[in-house]
A and B are shown apart, each in its own frame.
Chain A
Amino acid sequence: MIRIRPQTARYLYDRHLQEVLRTTMATAQQARDEAVAEVENWEELRNYARQVKLHTLAHLGDYLEALADRISSRGGRVFWAETAEDACNYVVETARRHSARTVVKSKTMLGEEIGINTALQKAGVEPVETDLGEFIVQLCQEPPFHIITPAFHKTRQDVARIFTQHLGQPLGEDPEELTAAARKALREKFLQADLGITGVNLAVADSGHLVVVENEGNARLSLSAPPVHIALMGIEKVIPRLQDLPVFLKLLTRSATGQRITSYVNLIGGPRCPEEVDGPEEFHLVLVDNGRSRILADERKRETLACIRCGACLNVCPVYGRIGGHAYRTVYQGPVGAVLMPQLLGPEQVPEHPFASTLCEACRDICPVKIDIPRLLLELRRELPRRYRRGDALAMRVWAWTFENAGRYAGISAWGRRLLRLFYRDGRLALPLPVLGRWQSTRDLPRLPNKTFYEEFSNQSADGGGNGQ
């Protein structure tokens, strides 16, 4: 079972991290807001994209087959992986067949989800992250902090320290110098690599293309320099038509990084054709289910799969903004992680995830495909088996019994308040009560008035104050 609560303090009281979060979150939000403000029909695009996604999900099998057919017809190999293990085995097998020793990877959250790095390492293959952010967290042996910006939590001072330690030369804090050092280290790996692995941001069924967006050119190198390219793709990433691609690119890049377009947009149709000079000799598309069919079958929660992984909901989430990505202890974090992880792993594996939200609904407003994350969170809260919320169940039963009957409520309130008052001084209660105790662990309680509103009101009415009836 993965919980959030035990490690929150570690992040909340890390002053350095808190300051980094404050600045980076604000910068990310501002960049996104400015980029979105330029698009006059943003709302229209969101609605359109949502419809396209929901339509695709309703006919997912057909679109995936169309995609697979077109990839196959160009000589690409398509593997349908039902589980993470199936996907990893296929990748490891392919690596073995080519006697691969080094694999270059561009950023793939699906790769994190299925644990591809661990699987490769076990098979004696070295996976090298080539996205700068991923490279940094890999050196630190940390998981990505954010689905878009894995090293979101590292300042350039941090990076200088990490690179100095791992790249074998003293480096200053100049971003250009640091990037150059990473480029030099990675360039060697690109040339050595026997295999390249990338993720997939979007796939187009009618033209049979996989789309990979990036800013560093590392994905393009990963998918074209080594003789073999494996693309890992979650089955929900497909859209039906090439003509809709610009809409999705616009929504994705502006929401994710506030860019009008990323520096590179790669469209991959299969291995190198005879008339082409670049590209891999062998191309594999691994279509990963890993629990997605189960989500698809649940109509009330199906829209979870409409997510295009832009990360905008993380950037606007007050909870993510204070505890950061690592506190979630799962591959996907923030609002989308809170709805996705219980469905991928099973609710009992991450019982706190759906509750780690204030339900402020900022995620719903910012989502480029209008996923109703707060509604999904409520659904997941309801579905969590009772044995994981016995305390809540008891509290709610007592609460409902008290509040469902106005007479009972008034009676219990009168006696309860009398009792509380005995232990109540200046915003603090000297009585170890569960709910109030947790409240006052971090903030004062409000003053306890002598009478409730209704008590005062009934007095007034009795005195002839009148209630207007």
Chain B
Amino acid sequence: MRVGLFVTCLVDQLFPRVGARTLQLLRLVGLEVVVDPRGVCCGQPAFNTGFTAEARRVARGLLDCWDDCDAVVAPSGSCVAMIRHHLLELFEDDPALKDTARSLAERTWELSDFLVNRLGITDVGARFSHVVTYHDSCHTLRELRIEKEPRLLLQEVRDLELVEMNDGNACCGFGGTFAVKFPDISSAIGNEKVRSIKATGAQFVVGGDVSCLMHIGGLLQRAALPIRPLHLAEVLTESS
């Protein structure tokens, strides 16, 4: 199977390791992976701030990247939700691009969803000897309805202990541009999440979106707590 890897802008800029590990993981399960630097961003920052035209200009870049791929995979539920649920809305009135947008929306998968539900894989042979907790990102949980998939994958990781946190379905407060429009509210919400994470006794907080992890990680670091954020793809490619 030939799949496109949409690394997303945040991974490209700040978490290249997550992109590299996702690529490694997809190759590990035997896929031919297409990386296309033209695939920069899904346009969500502008879309969610109410700038549709700007979102369209940026999302346009994705449309030609993975024409010949059976699926497109991204290590971010939020970007996938944007593509699956809102991309078509952006290009609805454009007869030339409407079908391409629909096709991309239909073929795009969040990483854990893709592994578990499309490929039927839960054990990728990883080993990670640590206690972890899992953070559900809102768009992954409430737009894509993905909840059990990352857990199925983590449960198969050797020596890993998964401890669920309280109020796991509560938002971490990141919220895209909300994080910088209302930084104090955003962080106050995040610190509630940090409380829940801390209470699990986990050494790592694992998630499927680097945006939430960047926010939670920034709060953990500011509070000098010894808990580190990790993307699911990073855990699934660990062997020690």
Contact = CB atoms under 8 A, between A and B. Distances in A.
A318 B50 contact: no
Interface in B17-50: 17, 19-20, 23, 27, 32-35, 37-41, 45-50
Contact of A399 (B35, B37, B54, B182): B54
A392 B55 CA distance: 13
B92 to A, nearest CB: 14
Given A358-B175, A378-B48, A403 B180 contact: no
A355 B45 CA distance: 13
A12 interface: yes
A435 interface: yes
B217 interface: yes
Contacts of B142: 360-362, 364-365
A8 B15 contact: no
A396 B27 contact: no
Given A378-B48, A413-B13, A453-B7, A319 B27 contact: no
A456 B20 contact: yes
A322 interface: yes
Nearest to B44: A359
Contacts of B12: 452-454
Q: Please indicate which of the listed interface residues A319, A383, A410, A435 has the most CB atoms of chain B within 10 Å of its own CB.
A: A319
A469 B34 contact: yes
A242 interface: no
B37 A355 contact: no
- B: interface residue count bin: 35 or more
A453 B218 contact: no
A125 interface: no
B46 A396 contact: yes
B155 interface: no
Most chain B CB within a 10 A radius of its CB, from A360, A452, A455: A360
A5 interface: yes
6 contacts: A322-B188, A323-B188, A355-B178, A362-B138, A439-B179, A469-B35
A396 B218 contact: no
Contact of B222 (A360, A442, A457): A442
Interface of B: 7, 9, 11-17, 19-20, 23, 27, 32-35, 37-41, 45-55, 57-58, 60-61, 138-139, 142-143, 169-171, 173-190, 192, 214-215, 217-219, 221-222
B184 A355 contact: no
Contacts of B185: 8, 12, 319, 322-323, 356
A380 B176 CA distance: 17
A198 to B, nearest CB: 35
Contacts, number: 202
A83 interface: no
Given A446-B217, A457-B35, A452 B186 contact: no
A467 B23 CA distance: 9
Interface in A170-189: none
A443 B138 contact: no
Contact of A435 (B7, B48, B175, B180): B180
A320 to B, nearest CB: 10
Contacts of B32: 468-469
Contacts of A440: 218
User: Which DSSP category, helix, strand, loop or mixed, fits chain B's interface?
Assistant: helix
Given A362-B169, A456-B16, A318 B189 contact: yes
Contact of B52 (A355, A359, A382, A392): A382
A359 B175 contact: yes
Q: How extensive is the interface on chain A, given as a class? A: 35 or more
Contact of B14 (A356, A358, A446, A456): A446
Interface in A320-358: 321-323, 354-358
A246 interface: no
A264 interface: no
Contact of A449 (B17, B57, B189): B17
A416 to B, nearest CB: 9
Given A359-B138, A409-B40, A441-B184, A403 B9 contact: yes
B78 to A, nearest CB: 10
Nearest to A450: B16
Given A5-B182, A358-B189, A396 B217 contact: no
A406 interface: yes
Contacts of A439: 179-180, 183, 218
Contacts of B34: 467-469
B35 A359 contact: no
A399 B45 contact: yes
A122 interface: no
Nearest to B53: A400
B193 to A, nearest CB: 9
Nearest to B31: A468
Nearest to A381: B50
A47 B145 CA distance: 19
The 8 closest A-B pairs by CB, nearest first: A358-B175, A381-B50, A443-B218, A360-B171, A442-B187, A453-B19, A453-B16, A400-B54
* Listed residue (B45, B171, B222) with the most chain A CB atoms within 10 angstroms of its CB: B171
A137 to B, nearest CB: 23
Contact of B37 (A359, A362, A454): A454
Contacts of A455: 16
Contact of A427 (B39, B180, B218): B218
Given A365-B142, A454-B12, A321 B189 contact: yes
Interface in A418-469: 427, 435, 438-449, 451-458, 467-469
A8 B182 contact: yes
